[in-house]
Amino acid sequence: MDIDLLIKSIIGLIVILFLLIVVFVLPAKEKPKKKQKKKQTITQQKPKTLDDLDFDELRAIVRRPSTSKEELKKAIEQIVKNYSKIPPKLGIRTHPDFDKYVDLIIHLIRHPNTDKKLILELDKTLLKNNPQYKEELNEALSKGLNSLG
């Protein structure tokens, strides 16, 4: 009787294990097919123009050393036009997004195809639209200029 119960228990556990494998392993194999479909729909979309890019994508253009002078100018124009307002300070601390603007200023200054007009245009617009960040923006500009050597 005990051996009968032991054999039935083992068979029951094997059946449960098989069901768990079927439930968890088979759907995992089907997921990559769904991801492939998503990739296909993404590639079918029309390419973005500079007007459609968000701040991080425009910042990536400025960070890329191979960006031409014209592309750089267009990217800065779009940033000035659409993203020149920095979120307000959090008490006496700067907003976490402010670091992105510091990074943008430093990379713009260090870019091989930049010129003083682009740098001044960005700096003046940011100072005009964000007077509460005047000290921090001047410090970022100084940091970028000092990094030139």
Average pLDDT of the chain to the nearest whole number: 85
- Same domain, yes or no: 36 and 98: no
What is the C-alpha to C-alpha distance for residues 7 and 75, in angstroms, rounded to an integer? Answer: 73
Query: Mean pLDDT throughout 121-126?
Result: 94
- Same domain, yes or no: 70 and 96: yes
Predicted pLDDT of residue 59: 92
- Same domain, yes or no: 35 and 97: no
Query: Mean pLDDT throughout 119-142?
Result: 93
The 10s digit of each residue's pLDDT in 94-118 is: 999 999 999 999 999 999 999 999 9
Residue-range definition of the domain harbouring residue 117: 50-146
Query: pTM score, two decimals?
Result: 0.66
- pLDDT tier for residue 85 given thresholds of 50, 70 and 90: very high
- Same domain, yes or no: 16 and 62: no
- Same domain, yes or no: 63 and 128: yes
The 10s digit of each residue's pLDDT in 17-68 is: 888 888 877 765 555 555 555 555 555 555 566 667 889 999 999 999 999 9
Taking residue 108's Cβ as centre, other Cβ atoms within 10 Å add up to: 22
- Same domain, yes or no: 78 and 20: no
- Same domain, yes or no: 30 and 59: no
